[in-house]
C-alpha cells in the first residue's frame, strides 16, 4: 500500500467581484499543490477531511479535490 494514495487535483480558486475576476492558489499559503500526493488523516462531516501532503503540510479541506493516485 502506498503511504500517500491520493492526489490533490484542484489548482485555483476564483473570486468574482463587480468588474474584476481574481484567481489564487487553493490553499492560503500560496503554494500550488495540484498533482501532489497526499493522504486523508481524518474524515469530517460535510465532505471535509484532514489531508496531509507528502511535504508534511496538513490542511482541512473538501474531499472533492481528492482523486486516487494511479499505481
Q: pLDDT per residue over 11-56, tens digit each?
A: 888 889 999 998 877 776 767 888 999 999 999 999 999 999 999 9
2 pLDDT more than 80: no
pTM for the full predicted model: 0.77
Q: Give 49: exposed, middle or buried? Use CB within 10 Å, 0-12, 13-18, 19+.
A: buried
Amino acid at each position: 500500500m502506498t503511504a500517500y494514495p491520493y492526489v490533490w487535483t484542484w489548482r485555483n480558486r476564483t473570486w468574482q467581484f463587480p468588474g474584476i475576476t481574481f484567481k489564487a492558489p487553493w490553499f492560503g499559503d500560496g503554494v500550488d499543490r495540484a498533482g501532489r500526493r497526499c493522504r486523508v488523516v481524518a474524515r469530517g462531516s460535510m465532505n471535509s477531511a484532514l489531508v496531509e501532503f507528502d511535504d508534511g503540510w496538513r490542511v482541512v479541506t473538501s474531499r472533492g479535490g481528492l482523486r486516487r493516485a494511479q499505481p
